[in-house]
Copies of this chain bind each other. A is one copy, B any other.
Amino acid sequence: MPPVVLGGHASPKMDLDLHYMPALRNYGEGEAGSKSEWRRVGRPGWTCQRDATAILGCPAALPYTEVIERILSLLSQDRCPPPVDRPDSENPRIAQIGDHQVIDSPQGTSAERGPAAATAIASDPPRPPIRLGIIGTGLAAQKLHWPALALMPQRFQIVAFANRTRSTAEEFATIAGLSMDGYTPDYGDLLARDDVEAVLVGVPIERIFPIARDCIEAGKHVISEKPPGASEAEALEYVELTARHPSQVVLMGEQVFYGDSRRLARSLIDAGAIGQPRFFVHRVVKHEVPVPGRFSSTPWRHKPAYPGGSIVDGGVHDLAGMRLLGGDIASLSARTEWLNKAIEAPSVLAMDFGFARNGSGSLFYGSFSTPVLDEDGSTRVYGTDGNLIINRGSVRLVRADGSVEEHVLQGSSAFYNEFLNFYEAVAYGEPVVGTVAQSARNMLILLRALRAAEEERTIDVRAEPWNAPAEGVPLWRPRGAVGLFDGLPVRHSIKAQ
């Protein structure tokens, strides 16, 4: 039986990839997917992916066996999945978002028509793609970064990649369609190359800072995975290092700052759609057991070499979302429990906090080794004149009069947005939203929450060294964009109820 890959790696639909890839790989007896293989399923690239997703129904609810059955059925018919009907395709919808209008036309957004030119301003001088080196070609590069980079060939060109284990680099090269000529086992070789302008660092937590430091000291622009270090001391060093190199762009991956649904929610809050926002509630509950080939199986996630383990590694994203929506955090208290037998650390955190401006928050982060059922994973913001319900791909605005406005976001890719911010910072000097200092602040607050839980006390985090402005995190928009989504892969539509 040939290995089967669903829809192609060059897809912003990470949900599906992350969810089904392990099963599909097992089915293919351990062989990784490749460009030539996904072409068998349908049209190349993410258009096919989107169709396949629609045909397969709700991905999270389908058992693996059924997914495989459906794919085999498609293969046996030797046909490409038909295009999906787009509802309301005749009538472009115009939405008032914050202080501007977003127009979702039948032609899609400009990103679909030609990514490279999507957000460049007319007067920008043309420039060649950024020549990118990649250090670390493991899961993050393969499953998170490459699908976004694949959409941006006119912005990024991968010229070199380094990984200690050659076989992992070969996997990546196959996925990304690269020859092994650009490979080196020693990242020092990569940094020594003058033609490498910028470096993507995607390595385990304890190696992030030492490698990023080498990159910065070699004069490269850097986009690196979070967190900023394996300890507070390291993170502080990282923040200071970036301050000493103001002419280099350093972006720390925090995809939540760039996620379209949270950006939209922030924009609605800023526009006063729910009056004064007062209570921010976020809840994430996961059943996490190690699965071969997935993030959950990485050894350092079980025996954390840095304080906090799963709660800090996973929780920083949830905290990033709270800070994007409500601003910076002033003081907090928390409780933790050990409830994941595969993780030798606390895995559940309940945290109450106050924001620096106004309003309160409640965050529940749970990683469980036992199954969980019917959990509400939404973020909710309650205001004086309504509330927001934020889920992946949707934002619902519940107004004081009981009417509901549902915003649907399809084809969204936070990683695409993140790489675009990096590109525009390097190419045009745009400000970086996901700074190392912002990620350090997220990490610090979670470390203080762990301390608050351990010492059973309320901790004021205003006086900490990485204090952030009360407004927290700037709202990212593409360069020159009028709307939130101009030129991005996402399609935005609104249903009134």
Chain A residues with CB under 8 Å of chain B are 278-279, 281, 331, 333-339, 341, 348, 350-354, 359-362, 364, 366, 368, 370-376, 382-387, 389, 396, 398-400, 402, 404, 452, 456-458, 460
**Pair B352/A352 contact, Cβ less than 8 Å:** yes
Q: Which residues of B contact A373 (CB under 8 A)?
A: 387, 389, 396, 398, 404
CB pair A400–B370 under 8 Å, yes or no, is yes
Q: With A373-B396, A373-B404, A386-B370 given, is the CB distance from A335 to B362 under 8 Å?
A: yes
Q: Which listed residue, B331, B364, B404, B460, touches A281 by the CB 8 Å rule?
A: B364
Determine the chain B residues whose CB is within 8 A of the CB of A368 once the complex forms. Answer: 382, 387
Report whether A351 and B352 are in contact in the complex, using a CB–CB cutoff of 8 Å.
yes
Would you call A387 and B404 a contact (CB within 8 A)? no
A313–chain B nearest beta-carbon distance, Å: 19
Q: Is the CB of A366 within 8 A of B350?
A: no
Among A348, A361, A404, the one with the most B-chain Cβ atoms within 10 Å of its Cβ is A348
Determine which of B338, B371, B457 lies in contact with A457 in the assembled complex, contact meaning CB atoms within 8 Å: B457
CB pair A352–B366 under 8 Å, yes or no, is: no
CB contacts (< 8 Å) of A457 on chain B: these are 457-458
Considering the chains assembled together, what is the distance between the CA atoms of A359 and B350 in angstroms?
12
Give 15 pairs: A residue, B residue, CB < 8 Å, sorted on A.
A278-B338, A278-B348, A279-B348, A281-B350, A334-B352, A335-B361, A335-B362, A337-B360, A339-B382, A351-B352, A370-B386, A373-B398, A373-B404, A456-B458, A457-B457
A350–B351 Cα distance when bound, in Å, is 9
Query: In the assembled complex, how far is the CB of residue A276 from the closest CB belonging to chain B, in whole angstroms?
Result: 9
Q: In the complex, which residues of chain B have a beta carbon less than 8 angstroms from the beta carbon of A376? A: 374-376
Shortest CB–CB separation between residue A56 and chain B, in angstroms? 22
Q: CA A354 – CA B339 in complex, angstroms?
A: 15
Given contacts A360-B350, A457-B458, are A382 and B366 in contact (CB under 8 A)? Answer: yes
What is the distance, in angstroms, from A379's C-beta to the closest C-beta of chain B?
13
Q: Tell me if A279 and B333 are in contact (CB < 8 A).
A: no
Give Cα A400 to B342, complex, Å.
Answer: 13
Select the residue from A350, A351, A376 with max chain B CB neighbours within 10 A.
Answer: A350
Q: Smallest distance from the beta carbon of A351 to chain B beta carbons, Å?
A: 7
Complex CA gap A331/B334 in Å reads 11
Rounded to whole angstroms, the CA-CA distance of A108 and B380 in the bound complex is: 43
- On chain B, the residues within 8 Å of A385 by CB distance are 370
Q: How far is the CA of A362 from the CA of B279 in the complex (A)?
A: 15
Q: Which residues on B sit within 8 Å (CB–CB) of A338?
A: 278
Closest to A332 in B: B333
| Complex Cα spacing A362 to B456, Å | 14
**Known contacts being A362-B362, A458-B456, is A402 close to B371, with CB within 8 Å?**
yes
| B354 lies within 8 A of A352 (CB) | no
Known: A354-B456, A366-B279. A382 touches B348 (CB 8 A): yes
A449 shortest CB reach to chain B, Å: 10
- Please state if B458 and A350 are interface contacts (CB–CB under 8 Å): no
Which B residue sits closest to A369, measured CB to CB?
Answer: B400
Q: Tell me if A360 and B335 are in contact (CB < 8 A).
A: yes
Flag if A337 contacts B359 (CB, 8 Å): yes
A284 vs B398: C-alpha distance when bound (angstroms): 18
Q: What CA separation (Å) do A402 and B370 show in the bound complex?
A: 7
- Shortest beta-carbon distance from A428 to chain B in Å: 41
Give the Cβ gap from A168 to chain B, nearest Cβ, in Å.
Answer: 32
